[in-house]
Amino acid sequence: MGSKTLEDEDPGRQDAPPSNGSSTAGGEPRGNHVARDGDGCMGSDGCGEGDDDDDEAKAAAAAAALTCVVDLEVNKKKKRKRPKKKKGSAASKQSSPPRIPLDELFPSGQFGPGQLINYSTPLNTTARAKSGELRRERHVNLDDSEFLNNYRKSAEIHRQVRRWVQETVKPGHTLTEIAVGIEDGVRALLGNQGLEPGASLRSGLGFPTGLSLNNCVAHYTPNPGRTDTVLQYDDVMKVDFGVQINGWIVDSAFTMAFNPTYDNLLAAVKDATNTGIQTAGIDVRICDISAAIQETMESYEVEIRGKTYPVKPVRNLCGHDIKHYHIHGEKTVPFTRHSDETKMEEGEIFAIETFGSTGRGYTREADGIYGYGLNDDAPLRVNLALNSANRVFKTVKENFGTLVFARRYLDRLGVDRYVAGLNCLVANGILEAYAPLVDIAGSYSAQFEHTILLRESCKEVISRGEDY
């Protein structure tokens, strides 16, 4: 932003030293006085016998003067010559909006770790009941160098795209502009536009970009054909998006508010999420994590327009583990106390997130559609009565698999007249439709989330950044 690039610098425009064929500033080219004064005699009578020599001298002087003029022109041309731009030079800074593929910013192909946190209990604790071999069979090897590097690349893409959101998005932008900007940025940084069959399965969005405002707690995304929403100064917006490479998803979210009235609401939820991250670990009971989250969040309150509200954890939403090509795994991390003593295990990946609300702290489904996901038991192929359903199913299998997708992703792929086909697939239990989730009208909610890897030696908060 405003820093100079190679194209801004122009070392070729510095003044060149004078050549041997030119005089110093304010003088004249060497030899011009010879052409003017002849052979240097004091008048026409001084050398009566050298007329031929005079002609030869004048001709030589004129040639010398012409040579000097040519030398001066050449020097001027050399001054104007710009240095050639080096081919293949790596970009040093991300563009705004982010469009430079990450491989160009990191030519080594290596990406640094997220936040590394040591476990609070010894690694040789007897509570670790499963052997290393059994754990490796059940979970991916989180210390594999290729796996880690790809996951860290996804996390770096998330950081760079969300930095653009935080620096650029202001009241007056539409939610469609924001969502498309995020998703275009992710695809550009991955260097994969995802327009060919199977391309979006190799890398792309982990799920539709969530832009939930105020009492809409989660799972809202703008859809084509519906009236767009314009972001307002008094809005509280949850920004939730995922980046995946080879089906392993970085799931991270943050909240934006332009009115400082809501600062304490955001602080409560951010603190609760960080408490959950600090408490999480191998062989830690999930109920202990939930209790710590609730205690932290409920220690905050926020004053809005002269009325004080306690910040309540949302009771029917949870953090979750992440599986291959599945944003939601089998385990959940609620935000309120419970008695389930299920433990976290080595090799697992968790999205530690919390939602806080000034309302009831309980959500219900609202009208509209957030996205669709293919059910695990969906058949390999379908032959339904509605042709558009068969066509949409083929597109979903080829491009998204079990990843959740939004309607605008189908628009982008050039699929037309797909709504009836989607509804048919949902009615037949092949696709699951997800609706926006809202608290009571007039309430406000916030969300913060990070992805953590429970590696053998430490937990890595892979999506951690300087922002949150």
Would you say 449 is a known binding-site residue? yes
Q: Is 240 inside a domain boundary?
A: yes
Q: Are 211 and 294 members of one domain? A: yes
Confidence (pLDDT) at 19: 40
Can you tell me the distance from the alpha carbon of 244 to that of 448, in angstroms, rounded to the nearest whole number?
Answer: 19
Confidence (pLDDT) at 41: 35
Can you tell me the distance from the alpha carbon of 323 to that of 318, in angstroms, rounded to the nearest whole number?
Answer: 16
Rg (CA), the chain: 34
Asked if residue 157 lies in contact with residue 363, where contact means CB atoms within 8 angstroms, the answer is no
Number of domains into which the chain is organized: 2
What's this model's pTM, rounded to 2 decimal places? 0.78
Q: Are 380 and 293 members of one domain? A: no
288: domain CATH number is 3.90.230.10
Asked if residue 169 lies in contact with residue 231, where contact means CB atoms within 8 angstroms, the answer is yes
Q: For residue 124, what are the domain limits? A: 115-367+440-461
Would you say 353 is a known binding-site residue? yes
pLDDT digits (tens, 9 = 90+) for 302-312: 999 999 999 99
Q: Is 310 inside a domain boundary?
A: yes
Q: Is 30 inside a domain boundary?
A: no
Q: Is 296 inside a domain boundary?
A: yes
Q: Are 319 and 419 members of one domain? A: no
pLDDT digits (tens, 9 = 90+) for 199-224: 999 999 999 999 999 999 999 999 99
Would you say 251 is a known binding-site residue? yes
Q: What confidence category does residue 283 fall into, taking pLDDT thresholds of 50, 70 and 90?
A: very high
pLDDT digits (tens, 9 = 90+) for 54-73: 554 444 445 444 444 445 44
Q: Are 310 and 331 members of one domain? A: yes
Confidence (pLDDT) at 139: 85
Q: What confidence category does residue 137 fall into, taking pLDDT thresholds of 50, 70 and 90?
A: low
Q: Are 330 and 455 members of one domain? A: yes
Q: Are 278 and 387 members of one domain? A: no
Would you say 54 is a known binding-site residue? no
Q: Are 336 and 426 members of one domain? A: no
pLDDT digits (tens, 9 = 90+) for 457-468: 999 999 999 999
* 419 vs 56: which has the higher pLDDT: 419
Q: What confidence category does residue 164 fall into, taking pLDDT thresholds of 50, 70 and 90?
A: very high
In the block, tokens 């290596």 appear at: 110
Q: Are 152 and 301 members of one domain? A: yes
Q: Is 245 inside a domain boundary?
A: yes
Q: Are 352 and 414 members of one domain? A: no
Asked if residue 251 lies in contact with residue 327, where contact means CB atoms within 8 angstroms, the answer is yes
Mean of all residue pLDDT scores within the chain: 84
Would you say 240 is a known binding-site residue? yes
Q: What are phi and psi of 221, to 5 degrees?
A: -140, 145
Asked if residue 77 has pLDDT above 50, the reply is no
Would you say 167 is a known binding-site residue? no
Q: Are 378 and 267 members of one domain? A: no
* 37 vs 368: which has the higher pLDDT: 368
Q: Is 242 helix (H, G, I), strand (E, B) or coil?
A: strand
405: domain CATH number is 1.10.10.10
| Torsion-angle region of 38 (φ positive above 0: left; ψ -120 to 50: alpha; else: beta) | left
* Through-space distance between the first and last CA atoms of the chain, rounded to whole angstroms: 22
